[in-house]
Amino acid sequence: MQADHLSEAVIFSLVASHVALVTIDREPARNAVNAAVTQGIKRAIRLTDSMPDVWTVVLTGSGTRAFCAGADLKEVSAGGLRQLITNDGGFAGFVHARRTKPWIAAVNGPAVAGGFEIALACDLIVAAEGTQFALPEVKRGLIAAAGGLYRLPRVIPKQLAMELIATGNMISAARLHSLGAVNRLTAPGAAVTGAIQLAEEICANAPMAVRESLAISREALDLSDDELRQLSDQAQERVMKTADFREGPLAFIEKRSPRWQAS
C-alpha cells in the first residue's frame, strides 16, 4: 500500500479496489485540526473527486487515542483560527465541502468537538466499541459552529441531541449505533477495517448511481418533496445516459457480476 502525504498532517493511500483512505496524522496531538490538516483534507477532497478509479473514501485519525479532538487550541490561541477554515469547505476544509463521492468516518477513538462534527459531515460512520462522541464547546463558552448543532438533531432524537449540546456530555458509540447515528460497530481498533469493508460493499454497486442517489439523500431534510422530485428526475436522466445503466440489467440477464465503468 503506497501512502502519499497531502500535507505534513494528512496521508492519502489506496487500500482496496476503488477505496481511498485519508488519515489525519497527528496522533500526539489527538489528531486535532491545524492548518496542515485543513489544507491536507482540502487537497484530499479535490484529489479523490478527480480520480475516476476512486469510488468511496474512508476518513480516519491515526492511532486510537482520538479520531479527532477538534480544533488545535494552541493554534487558535496563537491567532491561527482562520487557518483552520476554508471558504468553500468550512472547518477543516471539510464540514461544508461539496463532495461527489461517499465518505465514511472510521472512528477508532474519541470524536469530540470539531472531530464529532467532521464525523457527522461524512455520509456514514463506522466506530469501534468503547469510543465516545461529544460536543463539549459550551463547557468553554463556545458553540459547535461547524454543523454539529443542526446535524446531530437530524440523526438522533431531538431531545437527546439538545441534552448533549446543552451539557457537552459524552455519548457512547454503542448508544449512537442503537439510535442509528453510527452505521456499524466494530471491535476496538478495527474501525478502519470495518469502514473499508463497508466501502467495498458500496463499490459493488454502480458508482454513478450511488453518487446521484446520495446527492439527493443529503438534501432530504432540507428541501420540499417537489424539489426533491425534480432533483430525482434530473438525476435519473443523467444516470440513463451512462454505460452502467445498460450494464446493470444486462449483467442480471446474463447471470454475472456487473462490470461497472463509472460512466
Residue range 14-56, pLDDT digits in tens? 999 999 999 999 999 999 999 999 999 999 999 999 999 999 9
CB contact at 8 A, 260 and 247 = yes
Q: Does residue 129 have an active-site annotation?
A: no
The answer to whether residues 194 and 211 belong to one domain is no
Residue of 117, 201, 247, 254 with catalytic role: 117
What is the H or E stretch that residue 42 is in? helix 35-50
3-state secondary structure of 216: helix
Say what the pLDDT of residue 81 is: 82
Predicted TM-score of the model (pTM)? 0.95
Catalytic-role residue among 27, 75, 137, 201 = 137
219 is catalytic: no
Please indicate, yes or no, if residue 96 is contained in any of the structural domains.
yes
Same domain, 30 and 115: yes
Instruction: Give the residues of the chain that fall short of pLDDT 50.
Output: none
Question: Does residue 169 belong to any structural domain of this protein?
Answer: yes
> Which domain, by its residues, includes 211?
207-253
